[in-house]
Every structure is written in structure tokens, then in C-alpha cells.
Homo-oligomer: A and B are copies of this chain.
């Protein structure tokens, strides 16, 4: 069995991470699949998906401050759209994440949340969720 759905996300600034854990869990429940995996995928090239701590927002702030340090927006790049830093961050963070499902629940660790990572906002974005299993 498999179900695909789309989560719509509106980001508010150039760099903006949105906690989509609940939205993904809702898609798992609506799929009717009890045991399997969920794959969360962004069809964009200046955004990513990561799993990290969602209890303290300072964690996400620290990750983005460090990424901005390593990959500044104002460096001279070849791509003329002015968002090369976002493309680079997207490939480092990654385009998708896979999470296990047990008894209709995402099997995340205690501190783990799923984040949509905007690196070239603000924009209206899509996240694809595919639930596979039985």
C-alpha cells in the first residue's frame, strides 16, 4: 500500500525552518498504513528537509547561523539569480528524509522533529509525503 500527499508551507523570510512534524503525522494517519515508512521530499532546489531537535528553537537558530557563516549569501557566485547560497545549503541538508512508522505513529526520537528548511524565501512551497507499508 502507498499514499502520496502534499503539505503546503508558506515561509516568511529568506531563511526559515518550519516544524512539519504534526502535518506529516496527520498524513500518516490518513493513509491508514500501520507499519512502514514515510518519505518526506521537497521538490525545490533551494530548500531541504532535516530532522533535528524541535524542543528548543535555539538549536535551529544555531544551525542556521553556522550555515550562514560557512556559506555567506554575499559571496561572489556564478549563478546570477543571487540564491546560490540556498542551492549549496539545499545539497548539504538534503532533499528528503525517511522515518519509520509503527502502529500508525512516526517513530521519531524523544527530541526529534521534522523541519522544512527554507533557504531562499519567503515563498509558498510544497512538501511531498509518501507513506509505504501495510
| Residues in B neighbouring A107, C-beta threshold 8 A | 41, 43, 128
A64-88 at interface with B (beta carbon < 8 Å): 65-67, 70-71, 75, 77-81, 84, 87-88
Q: Which of B4, B36, B67, B109 contacts A102 (CB 8 A)?
A: B4
Contact with B along A14-41 (1 / 0, CB 8 A): 0000000000000000000001110101
Mask, A54-72, CB within 8 Å of B = 1, is 0010110111011100110
Chain A 87-128 interface mask (CB, 8 Å, partner B; 1/0)? 110111111111110100001111110000000000000001
- In Å, the complex CA distance between A35 and B78 comes to 38
Contact B59–A45 (Cβ < 8 Å): yes
Task: Report which of B63, B93, B98, B102 forms a contact with A87, defined as CB distance below 8 A.
Answer: B63
13 extra interface residue pairs, beta carbon distance < 8 Å, beyond A43-B108, A62-B77, A63-B84: A2-B133, A4-B100, A43-B110, A44-B112, A45-B112, A56-B79, A58-B84, A62-B78, A62-B84, A65-B77, A67-B88, A91-B93, A96-B97
Nearest residue (CB) in B for A4 is B100
Known A-B contacts A2-B35, A100-B128; the reply to A59 vs B84 at CB < 8 A is yes
10 inter-chain pairs at a CB distance below 8 angstroms, sorted by A residue, are A37-B39, A42-B109, A45-B52, A45-B109, A53-B87, A58-B77, A59-B79, A63-B91, A65-B77, A66-B75
